[in-house]
Amino acid sequence: MKCFGDAARRAVEAGCDFVGIHGAHGYLISQFFSPYANKRDDDYGGDLERRMRFPLEIVAAVRRAVGPDLPILYRLSGDEHQPAGGITLQDVCALAPRLEAAGVT
C-alpha cells in the first residue's frame, strides 16, 4: 500500500487539490473487491469482508500520506452485471461507509 500513499504524496507536492483513487471498471482495486475476479483464499479474498481489505488499506495509506484535510475521491462500480457473480449494489452499499470511515471524503 506504500506505493499508493507515495503516489498520493507526490500528487500533493505537485499541487493537486485532491487525490482520486480508481476502484472501478475492472482495474486492480476492483479486481480485489470483485467476487468474479478475486479467487484468492487468503486475507484478501473469499468473503466480502476480506475482499474489502485491499481497497480499505489503500485508502488508509493514502489518507496517512496526504493528511486529514485533503479531499480523497474514490471511483467505485455500482454493479458488475456479471451473470456468474460479481460486484453487486449490496456489496457497494457495504463498502461505501467503510471507505468513508477509512478516509474517503
Q: Given the residues 27, 36, 44, 74, select the one marked as catalytic.
A: 27
The alpha carbon of residue 8 and the mean position of all alpha carbons in its chain are separated, in whole angstroms, by 14
- 27 classed as catalytic: yes
In total, the chain counts a number of residues equal to 105
Residue 11 DSSP class: H
Which of 58, 48, 40, 74 has its CA nearest to residue 1?
Answer: 58
Q: Give 21's strand partners.
A: 74
Q: Is 6 helix (H, G, I), strand (E, B) or coil?
A: helix
Annotated catalytic residues are 27
